[in-house]
Amino acid sequence: MVLSKREILDRMQTLAVSDRRSLVITPLLYKEESDVFDADSVDLKLGCYFLLPKMLDQPFFSPDRESATSLHVKVHVPLGQFLVVPAHQTILGATLEFIKLPSDVSGQVLTKSSVARTFIIVETAPWIHPQYRGCLTLEIANVSNTPVLLYPGRSICQLVLMHVVQEKNTRGSKRGGRNRKGDVKPDTSYFGPVYPEAPKFRDPQDDLLKIGVRKVASLKKKQLVRENEEWKEES
């Protein structure tokens, strides 16, 4: 069941922040409710920090523990300034609003229709789990043939919230587990970010070992060193 504007406002305004049913969206700036609320969604604004793809020093990106943060360069664009997203490029941004979801609510982030019509697509991994807290990292893709300007502080996406029917005797999320009240504990690997976050990976061999794979190919090359008239891999 999708949460209505009234329920969203009730959960934001009447419940204490420590209440597991409370919802936080801050700072939510509006004169009239209709500025940010629809009957079943809330508009979110673009924040001031971005991660832009960076030129790598190798011809590929390997999603492993070591190189996960080497893919991006962080950029700050204050309110009033703009960022140019080149044609056919994807960047990471974050919402201006910090969000805390209740323990019985999931969320989905959707591109605002007016933004989508400029050939900007927000989010390809749009699901937000209960208890999530933080500014939402947004994958922002410019699929048009022209560069597009993004202004921090302008609405970019909408958040739709859905009630989660709690099942008894479940064991919690894959990383979080449950607390004594039976709530899913939040996953702390992406806990409370206020900037867009780079992905966090384990090494592929560790992930694959879990399903019994014991031989894993690697593209990582060692440096070659000339020794005794021949090239050898550096130890």
Partner 1 sequence: MQAGLTALLHDAAVLHRFSDFLEEYCKEQERSQRYVDASGDFFKYTEDLAREIKLELRRDIERTSLFPPRIAASRTASLRRKMLTLKDYLRLLHTLIKPAADAHTLSIPAPLINLACDQLRQIEGMGDSRIVVLLTPQLMYFQRPHTHVKQQAALVEKFVPQVLFPKKLGFIELPYSQGPSFFTNLAIYHEIGHFVYEELPSLPSSNASFTALGLARDHALMEFPRLRRDRQVRALAEKILESWTQEIFCDLFALRLVGPAFSFALVEILGMLGSLSSEAMVTFDQEHPAPACRFAEQVRLLRQDSWWDAIAHIEPEQKKLLERLAKTPRAKYKVYAGDERGPEALMRPFLDSIIPAIRNLVRQVTPDAKSVAKRFRETRRVIEDCLEVGVVPHAKTATPLDPVSIINSAFCFYLTKLPKIVTKFEGGAAERNVGTRSKWTGKLEDWTKKAIEDSQIRRQFERTRRDGPL
Q: Does 222 bind partner 1 (CB under 8 A)?
A: no
Nearer to partner 1, 20 or 202 (CB): 20
Instruction: Decide the pairing of beta strands 72-76 and 49-53.
Output: antiparallel
CA–CA gap between residue 226 and residue 228 (Å, rounded): 7
Nearer to partner 1, 135 or 141 (CB): 135
Residues 115-134 that bind partner 1 (CB under 8 A): 133
Q: Does 50 bind partner 1 (CB under 8 A)?
A: no
In this structure, the chain runs to a length of 235
Q: Does 16 bind partner 1 (CB under 8 A)?
A: yes
CA–CA gap between residue 203 and residue 224 (Å, rounded): 24
Residues 65-104 that bind partner 1 (CB under 8 A): 74-79, 81, 96, 98, 100
Structure-block tokens of residue 18: 């420590």
For residue 26, the minimal CB distance to partner 1 (Å) is: 4
Burial (CB < 10 A; 0-12, 13-18, 19+), residue 151, is: middle
For residue 179, the minimal CB distance to partner 1 (Å) is: 9
CA–CA gap between residue 6 and residue 24 (Å, rounded): 14
96 with 27: CB under 8 angstroms? yes
CA–CA gap between residue 200 and residue 185 (Å, rounded): 19
- Beta bridge partners, 158, equal 43, 110
Q: Does 204 bind partner 1 (CB under 8 A)?
A: no
For residue 7, the minimal CB distance to partner 1 (Å) is: 16
Stretch in the footprint of partner 1 (CB under 8 A) among 9-17, 110-118, 212-220, 226-234:
9-17
Which stretches of the chain bind partner 1, using CB under 8 A? 12-13, 16-18, 24, 26-27, 29, 31, 74-79, 81, 96, 98, 100, 133, 135, 185-186, 188, 191-195
